[in-house]
Every structure is written in C-alpha cells, then in structure tokens.
Amino acid sequence: MSNSSFAPTSSFMGVPRGSGSSRAKAAIVGLPFDCGTHPYRIGARLGPSSIREQSLLLRPFDIGADLDPLTALGLIDMGDAPVRPGEIEPSFAAIEEAIGGLAEEGVVPVSLGGDGAIALPEMRALHRAHPDLVTVHIDAHTDAYPIPGYNTATAFARAVEEGLVDASRSFQIGMRGSVMVPGVLAHARKLGYNVVTMDDLLSRGIAEVFAVTRRTIGDRPVYLSYDMDFFDPSVAPGVCTPTFGGASAREGLAALEACGGLNLVGVNINTVSPPHDVGGMTALLAATVTLGSLNLIARNHQA
C-alpha cells in the first residue's frame, strides 16, 4: 500500500510497518480523506497521522490484564491508502481496495479516518467478504440523512440502499444535537436501523443498551464505526462536528468495552481534526479507542 502525501513518520504504537499481512490477524490502515465541503472545519484528512503520533504515549497492557493485543494479533501498520481528499470516486475505490484486500485474507482492518464518508467504501469492501454484515455505529449523528449524494451525512443511508448491511440488526448509538434537515431520526428508523439517542443511552444505561445490542446481533460479522464526536467536545474538541451533550471519556470508553463479544470484522475510528484539536487530546483519546478495539479483537481470537 502506497503512502499519501499525509504519510506519518511513525506507525501506530511503533508496530512494524509493511505491505505484507500473511501473519497478521489485524492491521492498521490510515484513510486520510475528507470531503472538503464543510464551510468551517476541514482537517480530518490529517487525522491518521495525529492519531499515530499520540499513540506513542500508550502502552500495550491494560491495567490488571495480561493480554498484549499488538503481539497477540501480530499487528502491522499498512500505512495510508492512496486517497485524494475532496475526490470521492478515486478515494472510495482506493479505500475499498485497501480494506477489501485485508478482509479477503481474514485480517481485521482497523482504520484511522478521515471523515465519516469513509464508512461507505469500507462497508462495500467488508460486505463482499461478509455478506451478512451488520454495523454498530457509535456517533452523534446518524449519517443516514434523507438527502441525496455521497458525503458524511449519507454513508449509512447509502449502505442500506446498496444492501451492504442488515439494518434490522444494526445499531446507531449516541445521536443528539442540531441537524441540517428535519426527519433525520425518523429516516434512519425507516431504513431499519435500531437508533438509540444519547438521551436513551444515558437513561437506560450503557450496560442495558449494549446487552440488547449483543443479543440482537448474535454472532453476525460486525463493522464497528466509532465517530469521535460521540464524545463531548469538552474531552474531544478536535472533531469535524463538535456537539455538546456527548459522552465523557469514561462513558465513551465504557461503551467501547461493552462491544466485547461482538464478532468484529472491521473497525473504524474517524473524524479527528487536528487543526481544531487542543494539545492532541482528541487524537490521544482516538488512539485509546483504537487500542481498546484491538483488545476486543484479540480477545475474540483467544476465545
């Protein structure tokens, strides 16, 4: 996989870099793409490099645990897919090729975005390897708006229309805040998604919501898309669409941990915008989410 002009100088947590994945069970892939259409906040194309940089502050062992997911998974960093920010067709093709190549080899791709639009080509690629794919989408926004086109607001709508995921067993969790058009929640539910707003999540509790999620999904292959604006801007200011009323760091990491037991076949951590970050805190939190995701995948391989 060739590097883009946004290529990092280091790999995620210092793991080996390379194009070969024959012995890896999971691989990091950078997707430095954004649509470039937001009138005020453009910068998610720089997210992968910032997440990798901040990941060097992390250590492989979770406190109280003996599992080193980097070693257990033979984790490698494939570098960045050759995307072109603002150019959807060639970038989507490059993302599909990068993610699909790993999925077809039985390697779990763990991608670093990039904005939320990258979810659609990822689901296209994962669906080819896993026709019964479902998604757990943790985000402040449904990204399934009742509008046309290919952008950050429509990835999960197009996914249902293209038959890439079984929406009846898929979950969208954390929705809140202001939106650009009316009927957003109703449209996502019309598409078939199980939508859990942030108010619902906090009133029912993380444990209950994710217990229902796990029971509904069972052992189906899962694409986990974790948008960093699920967190409140007080802990994750450097995102594309900051929305107050979100999760604390503790709550957001607890929601990730509650995904334990899901059959994760692809993971994406997206929407880190370094030009709007403060001291790299959003990127560090995103790196922590990435490491937590790797722990979940490693546990699955040990089961």
Domains and CATH numbers, the chain: 23-302 (3.40.800.10)
- This prediction has a pTM of 0.95
Q: Which helix (H) or strand (E) holds 299?
A: helix 281-302
Write down the pLDDT at residue 39: 74
pLDDT at 144: 96
> Tell me: the pLDDT tens digits for 52-90?
999 999 999 999 889 999 999 999 999 999 999 999 999
Give the full edge-to-edge strand order of the sheet including 108-113: 76-80, 26-31, 108-113, 263-270, 221-227, 134-138, 171-175, 194-197
What would the DSSP string read from start to end of 162-189? Answer: TT-S-GGG-EEEEE-S--SSS-HHHHHH
- For position 10, what pLDDT does the model report? 86
Note the pLDDT of residue 80: 96
Q: Is 287 helix (H, G, I), strand (E, B) or coil?
A: helix
**Cα 241 to Cα 27, 43, 206, distances in angstroms:** 28, 11, 23
Low-confidence ranges of the chain (pLDDT < 50): 3, 8
- According to the model, what pLDDT value does residue 64 have? 87
Cα 81 from chain centroid? 16
| Strand intervals (E) in 108-210 | 108-113, 134-138, 171-175, 194-197
Cβ 26 vs Cβ 297: under 8 Å: yes
